[in-house]
Amino acid sequence: MLGALIKKQMLEAFASFTKGSKQGKTRSPGAAIGIGLLLLFAYASLAFCFAMLAFSLCTPLASAGLGWLYFALMGSFATLFGVIGSVFTTYNALYVAKDNELLLSMPIPPACLLFSRMVGLYLMTLLFEAIVMVPACVVYWIFVPAGPAAVIFALLTVPVLPLLALSISCILGWLLALIAPYVKHKSIVTALLSVVFLVLYYIVAFRMNDLMQSLIANSEAIGGQFRTVLFLFYQMGLGAEGGVLGFLLFVLMTAGVFAIVYAVLSANFVKLATNRRGGPRAVYREKRTEARPQGRALLGKELSRFWGSSVYLLNSGMGSLFLIVGAVAALVKAGWISENITAFLAQSGLADMLPLLLCAVVCMVVSMNIVTAPSVSLEGSGIWLLQSLPVHPWKVLCAKLELHLLITLPPALLCTVVLLAVLRVGVLGAVLSVLTVCLFVLFCAAFGLVMNLLFPNLKWNSEAVAVKQGMSVMLAMFGGWGLVLLLGLGGYLWCLILPAAGYLAVCVAALGLGGGLLLFALHGWGSRRFAGL
């Protein structure tokens, strides 16, 4: 039974990459290979970043006889990264999965069901932590001689350490499950907490060099803290250097924490997974409801879904937040930005490219918004409701496009206008920049919707699967970034010969033509495709 449940979880995890439409048709080998290459590229890029971090810490700490502190620090970074990567999906995967009640109605022990779901979470956490720990081990073995015991224990640490991050994620998900029935507007609260976390993350990222220098300078004091407060990571570091006792203590403590968490969750799983009561009761108030046009009603439905789903909001609309933050930062640092960027471009002989670079920066952030890419998939098995309404499918698709424009276009225009004012771009360059950004937003909205119609995933048990794991989501995001890089490279080559204003005019024409063709395809082929899903 347990094996069948684990197999089910694995099939669900990889369904969005191996299966296509609602009928569950298998993707072609070429599509599967393409997805694998994209994932490999993203994984390798992150691993390279952590390898650079490991390189900056390894030699100074190892030469000071603190090799264990190096592994303890990288292990703590890996645990933090693992929690970050899995905590947002733990609650949805364990407690609000669509098939929880169906499976619990069968003669399946709740402990087995919980364990099968935790296996999937463990593998996801392992992938996140391996991005940190594998480069850390390789860097250490390159610069520091290591015996067979150190190599074996370090390798065994990689699959053991995720149990700690998984335990922390499960505890946080459990706390959320306890308070969720009593919280109004859960998606907004989750989004706000996530935004606070992201702000703290980027503050740390921007100060990483100073933090690394401070860490190396105060390595003895930090080592003392690990020996007392973070004793588990201290033993992990000793084990990774070849200490048998340290490795055994690390494994026992990590396994013990996971066993306790699993036992507590198993005892409360049924109650938490079926808890739908206790929330604030709605008070009925009689009021007049006015009929709305089809377009407004459909757009209201899309807005309700967007603001009502923290997974959808966070993963598809964070670009808008970054655009607003960028506009505010540009106003605050207007003098510094104007002086330094203008001087840099002048020294590089690229002063004419200022409007083009501004558009590239804004469009790169705009491409982070992928509102339309999962919008069809999110209809799920209830897509027949829209198909049965006396509404033309084009109206439904228009509502999804309008949602993307409503979420993305105002922040993009705000950021563009502020940067144009701060950098004092001329009238012609400013007009062309605004048109380029607007048409790029429209192109991304239409491209994401086309990709989701081509690769819908209507069979999911959690919204996180439709929003995060679909092929259309990856193609929309990487496609947007690739288009920005292509336009930037073309602009650089153009500006070596001709004025930048002419290239922006070409971009406006190309994006307008591309967006128009996509909209034409959506009106005809897209409407038929949506009606037939």
pLDDT digits (tens, 9 = 90+) for 329-353: 888 887 777 777 777 666 666 666 7
User: What's the average model confidence in pLDDT over 272-286?
Assistant: 57
- Tokens describing residue 297: 């009603």
Question: Could you write out the DSSP letters of every residue in 146-166?
Answer: --HHHHHHHHHHHHHTHHHHH
Q: Give the closest residue to 372 by CA, choosing from 423, 325, 409.
A: 409
- Least trusted range by pLDDT, from 84-93, 315-324, 354-363, 464-473: 84-93
pLDDT for residue 289 is more than 60: yes
- Tokens describing residue 475: 């193609």
d(C-alpha 291, C-alpha 498), whole Å: 55
The answer to whether the CB of 467 falls within 8 A of the CB of 316 is: yes
Q: Please, where are the H alpha helices in 367-499?
A: 383-388, 393-423, 427-454, 463-468, 471-495
pLDDT for residue 421 is more than 60: yes
Q: Give the closest residue to 458 by CA, choosing from 374, 375, 380.
A: 380
pLDDT digits (tens, 9 = 90+) for 431-485: 888 999 999 999 999 999 999 888 888 877 667 777 877 778 888 888 888 888 8
pLDDT digits (tens, 9 = 90+) for 38-78: 677 767 777 887 888 888 888 888 787 778 888 888 888 88
Which pLDDT score is estimated for 439? 93
d(C-alpha 451, C-alpha 448), whole Å: 5
pLDDT digits (tens, 9 = 90+) for 190-212: 666 666 666 665 565 555 566 66
Q: What is the DSSP letter of 28?
A: P
pLDDT for residue 263 is more than 60: yes
Q: What is the mean pLDDT of the chain?
A: 79
In the chain, domain spans: 2-7+28-273, 294-532
**Residue 352: other Cβ atoms inside 10 A:** 15
- pTM exceeds 0.85: no
Interhelix angle 471-495/427-454, nearest 10 degrees: 150
Interhelix angle 186-206/310-332, nearest 10 degrees: 50
**Residue 363: other Cβ atoms inside 10 A:** 26
The answer to whether the CB of 92 falls within 8 A of the CB of 311 is: yes
Side-chain half-sphere of 131: how many Cα atoms within 13 Å?
25
